[in-house]
Amino acid sequence: MFSRMRAGRWRPAVLVACLVAAGSLAGLVASSTATATDRAPGHRAVQVKVLVLTMFEAETRPWLERRKLPLTVEVPGAYKPVRCDRRGLCVLTTGMGKSATAATMTAVLNSTRLDLRRAYFLSAGIAGTPPGQGTLGFAAWARWVVDYDLGHHLLTEEAPDVPYGYQEMGAESAVFRLDDRLVDLAYRLTRNVKLTDSEISQQVRSRYTEKNARRKPFVAVCDTVTGDNYWSGAGQSRRAQYITDLRTKGKGTYCTTQMEDNATATVLNRFGRLGRYLNLRTASNFDQPYPGQTVAQHLSSNSGGFATSVTNAYLVGSPVVDHLLRR
């Protein structure tokens, strides 16, 4: 699935008391270089209220630059250390793709160094979007998280009787419905957030004819599709909506595409935490070329929304994080 072009492309109350000397007094960690890697038996875990999930370093950077996260928690098996503050906010970079994300999430949820029993989880990353549903820099809260890959993918010329060359197969991780009350709360808190924009985003938008594609960034509620394959093209976009229709019984609207979120939802579901999960994606690119542009040209071009989408993921996610920290 072509979900996020890198060179221009869409993608928690008291902190741990830490030993200040071996076998001596405990103190609150305040140094930016402090770690919670070697803990004595009975040592208290970091109590997490909100765990923000980013997938790669550029998505993580706004949280590190705009929040003070002085505690570093090393978790064996995780892609990157967890960074936390005194209020219970932690940020975790999972790695790109479903395999890396599943490995990191499982390691973190099994860790004794983090107390996640009352935590909320927020994916905040960039994505691709179909021009009929979104625009560069727009932000979407998902109700449905749909797996694009699971199923039988056939060549349409070899199976012309199979719509879009796709037959679904049953799988636990194929589709998840997130908590409506939590999604509605997130949208109410952020629907009027002022989002950033850029000249290059405006230039790219102007080449598309769809109404939503030409809009300035906005906040919406619609649904996300996960796939490890990069793809581009109107036909592939229609296939993503077809798969969404099958998986959600016609209730879902595909509006963002990314590479990790069914893995995140699967792990959270197995640990009984799916009801505390929010999914936020901001569009760095369109999932298909503009009129007159080829798919190959689209894949190699500047998507126009990378910097905007990274910033807007923080701007939209941040008010929800602050609200959940006060709960």
CA–CA gap between residue 93 and residue 91 (Å, rounded): 7
Distances (CA, A) of 5 to 137, 250, 285: 14, 29, 7
pLDDT at 248 over 90: yes
149 secondary structure, DSSP code: S
| Lowest mean pLDDT across 88-97, 165-174, 262-271 | 165-174
105 secondary structure, DSSP code: H
Q: What residues form DSSP beta bridges with 86? A: none
pLDDT at residue 17 in the model: 33
User: How much is the mean pLDDT over the chain?
Assistant: 89
CA–CA gap between residue 139 and residue 221 (Å, rounded): 8
The tokens for 75 are 């978790």
pLDDT at residue 1 in the model: 44
Q: Residues of the chain with pLDDT > 70: what percent?
A: 87
Q: Which residue has the higher pLDDT, 143 or 26?
A: 143
Judging by DSSP bridges, how do beta strands 175-177 and 71-73 pair with one another?
Answer: unpaired
- Nearest CA among 11, 97, 103, 105 for reference residue 58: 11
pLDDT at residue 229 in the model: 86
pLDDT at 191 over 70: yes
H-state helical runs in 191-251: 199-205, 234-248
Tell me the pLDDT tens digit for each residue of 283-321.
Answer: 999 999 999 999 999 999 999 999 999 999 999 999 999
Tell me the pLDDT tens digit for each residue of 109-122.
Answer: 999 999 999 999 99
Reduced to 3 states (helix: H, G, I; strand: E, B; else coil), residue 272 is coil
pLDDT at 78 over 80: yes
* 130 close to 208: Cβ distance less than 8 angstroms: no
Torsion sign over Cα 289, 99, 57, 135: positive
Tell me the pLDDT tens digit for each residue of 28-61.
Answer: 333 333 454 434 344 689 999 999 999 999 999 9
Range 17-325: architecture per CATH: 3-Layer(aba) Sandwich (3.40)
pLDDT at residue 44 in the model: 82
